[in-house]
Amino acid sequence: MITLITGGSKCGKSRYAEDILTGFDGRRIYVAAMQPYGEEAHEAIARHRRLRAGKGFETIERYTDIGELQLPQGCAVLLECVGNLCANEMFRDGKMYRPADKISAEIQLLAARAEELVIVTNQVGSDGISYTEGTAAYMAEMEKINRSIAVSADCVIECVYGIPLVLKGALPCSGR
């Protein structure tokens, strides 16, 4: 089962994603995609570690190439977050790539290996603001990835102020 959770910054996406998998009766793998650049990133990583402390997640820090992950059979995976993964893939090696197709294919590989896959992503492009070429290209890639995941997902949830709003499917029964 694939569950996609989207929403704005600090809206409760991560906590809800973790809650969904808390009831999973097997190994829970947390794939952390945020590269620790700068104080703000380190603070966000520390906050996320506190949030999932004691919930039984095994953390794998993987910033790119998630399709190469070796996962235990029948596990649950929480991918946090597509926005970071996209930026890491897009701006690696000092060049700019278009990683949407690669990331979408790799997410399908994860889904084939995991019994449950919960994906956290960010909403982009809804503010109506014009951005620089690099930012606009990033947003276009994110929109393409998010659409791809939403099509294949069994459940799509938007978190608003910590409240899950179902956009597709039904709330996973192992969640709140």
Q: Is 84 a residue whose pLDDT tops 50?
A: yes
β-strands 57-61, 116-120 pairing: unpaired
What confidence category does residue 131 fall into, taking pLDDT thresholds of 50, 70 and 90? Answer: confident
Residues 6+ apart with CB under 8 A from 175: 16, 19, 20, 23, 164
Q: Which two tokens stand for residue 50?
A: 């506190």
- The pLDDT score that the predictor gives to residue 176 is 40
Q: Is 47 a residue whose pLDDT tops 90?
A: no
Taking residues 98-115, report their average pLDDT: 97
What confidence category does residue 173 fall into, taking pLDDT thresholds of 50, 70 and 90? Answer: low
This prediction's pTM:
0.90
Q: Is 2 a residue whose pLDDT tops 90?
A: yes
Domains of the chain (ranges plus CATH)? 2-168 (3.40.50.300)
Q: Convert the pLDDT of each residue in 33-46 to its tens digit.
A: 988 777 877 787 77
Q: Is 146 a residue whose pLDDT tops 80?
A: yes
Q: pLDDT over 90 for what percent of the chain?
A: 67
Please state, in angstroms and rounded to a whole number, the distance separating the CA atoms of residues 85 and 50.
21
* Cα angle 94-121-128, degrees, rounded to a multiple of 5: 80
Taking residues 118-134, report their average pLDDT: 87
What confidence category does residue 159 fall into, taking pLDDT thresholds of 50, 70 and 90? Answer: very high
Please state, in angstroms and rounded to a whole number, the distance separating the CA atoms of residues 111 and 26.
16
Question: What mean pLDDT is reported for the chain?
Answer: 90
Helix (H, G, I), strand (E, B) or coil at 116: strand
Q: Is 115 a residue whose pLDDT tops 60?
A: yes
